[in-house]
Amino acid sequence: MKHLRSLFDLNVDEYHDILDLADSIKRKLGQGHRPDVLKNRNLALLFEKASLRTRVSFEAGMIQLGGAAIYLTNDVGWRERETISDFVRVLAGYCDFVVCRAISQSTVDELASHNVLPVINGLTDQSHPCQAMADMMTMREFSGGSLRGKQLTFVGDGNNVARSLLKSAAICGMRFRLVGPTKYHVEKPLIDRIRSHFGQLDFEQGTDIGAMVRDADFLYTDVWTSMGQEAEAKARTADFSPYQINSTMMKMAPGHAKVLHCLPARRGLEITDDVIDSESSIVFPQAANRMHLQKSLLVWLGMQNGFVKSSQLD
Ligand code: CP
Ligand code: NVA
């Protein structure tokens, strides 16, 4: 059974197929075309952490595809009332897919290990694949179609979002630069694994803002304190304070550089109002593309798992 536990579940061709299908679904939606490819299908959204974008974009996407979504939080009692193994086997009797936003990547991996329904990672401590794929779709749109050789500079924490972007940059042939305090850099075993899995990766990380930003086509940031790290917030705010995307940093970047943020933003910390609300910012088209990309992912997983035919998209 095909899952999206992380981007390591995809090869380069599969990744591009999902991006291309997302472009097509978005274009057709703009022409009023809403094929009910997932009619009578159900998506369970199993969330251990808060969400606006991931939850609503999946729910809205399922409705547009003719199906429905069921939002489940801890009150369904998984883990406390019954094992994940029992839980997921029951869920598969009612639903066709599950998106899981989990505190730990191991939860998503365990759900998928039973192979009873396709499991999609909706963010874990380690990764946020749907976010990164939608971001590649957005950057491709703002690059006139190709990302090869473009530079994405991530400013801040080598966190779940940065890690999925790093894999995506490898897949899409982008240069990836990460600038932030050394203790928050991405660890070497992950970099090595990305290189060997995807066969290429142009990546450097460091602390020199000018050097990392000066050739950026895209600048990206995320919160300095992710969900679950609240106890470290004070130390993180101090550590990351030199790495705010503000007008001074923007002057170091090329004039054409666009700014992304996965949102939610802590305005005044990792990014200032004048930058996030500027002409350079593409954060709202970026957020909107989550839905188109995830519709594509659902349809693609339906095809891979044998319950959707490509002809249904016509
Ligand atoms: N970017 C993102 O995943 O947002 P949510 O946490 O609101 O889903
Ligand atoms: N790194 C952030 C992303 C939120 C979408 C977090 O994990 O909280």
- Give domain limits for the chain: 7-128+290-313, 143-281
Q: For residue 233, which ligand has an atom nearest its CA? A: 2
Pick the CATH number of 143-281 from 1.10.150.120, 3.40.50.1370, 3.40.50.1240, 2.40.30.110: 3.40.50.1370
With CA atoms as reference, report the closest residue to 198 among 168, 171, 162.
Answer: 171
CA of 263 relative to ligand 2 center, distance in Å: 8
pTM over 0.85: yes
Going by alpha carbons, the residue nearest to atom 6 of ligand 1 is 51
* Mean pLDDT across 5-20: 98
Q: What angle do CA 32, 38, 44 make, to 5 degrees?
A: 120
Q: What is the pLDDT of residue 78?
A: 82
Q: What is the pLDDT of residue 310?
A: 82
Q: Mean pLDDT over all residues of the chain?
A: 97
Q: What is the pLDDT of residue 312?
A: 82
Ligand 1 pocket: which of 100, 263, 266, 284 to mutate (most atoms within 8 A of CB): 263
Q: Give me the percent of the chain exceeding a pLDDT of 70.
A: 100
Beta carbon of 233 within 6 Å of any ligand 2 atom: no
Pick the CATH number of 7-128+290-313 from 3.40.50.1370, 3.40.50.620, 3.20.20.70, 3.90.1010.10: 3.40.50.1370
Confidence of residue 311 (pLDDT cuts 50, 70, 90): confident
Asked if residue 75 has pLDDT above 90, the reply is no
Asked if residue 190 has pLDDT above 90, the reply is yes
Instruction: Dump pLDDT digits (tens) for 87-117.
Output: 999 999 999 999 999 999 999 999 999 999 9
Q: How far is CA 305 from CA 5, 118, 177, 185, in A?
A: 15, 8, 36, 37
Q: What is the pLDDT of residue 250?
A: 98
Q: What is the pLDDT of residue 79?
A: 81
- Decide whether 7-128+290-313 matches 143-281 in CATH topology: yes
Q: What is the pLDDT of residue 144?
A: 87
Residue 203 token pair: 């990546």
Phi, psi of 259 (to 5 degrees): -115, 130
Lining residues, ligand 1, CB within 6 Å: 51-54, 123, 131, 262-264
Q: Which residues of 297-306 are buried (b: 16+ CB within 10 A; e: fewer)?
A: bbbbbbbeee
Confidence of residue 80 (pLDDT cuts 50, 70, 90): confident
Atom of ligand 2 nearest to the CA of 157: 1
Instruction: Dump pLDDT digits (tens) for 129-161.
Output: 999 999 999 999 999 889 999 999 999 999 999
Q: For residue 221, which ligand has an atom nearest its CA? A: 2
Q: What is the pLDDT of residue 313?
A: 79
Asked if residue 314 has pLDDT above 80, the reply is no
Distance CA 97, CA 43 (A): 5
* Mean pLDDT across 171-199: 97
Residue 19 token pair: 């991006």
Q: What is the pLDDT of residue 271?
A: 98
Ligand 2 pocket: which of 52, 55, 160, 261 to mutate (most atoms within 8 A of CB): 160
Q: What is the pLDDT of residue 77?
A: 85
Atom of ligand 2 nearest to the CA of 229: 8
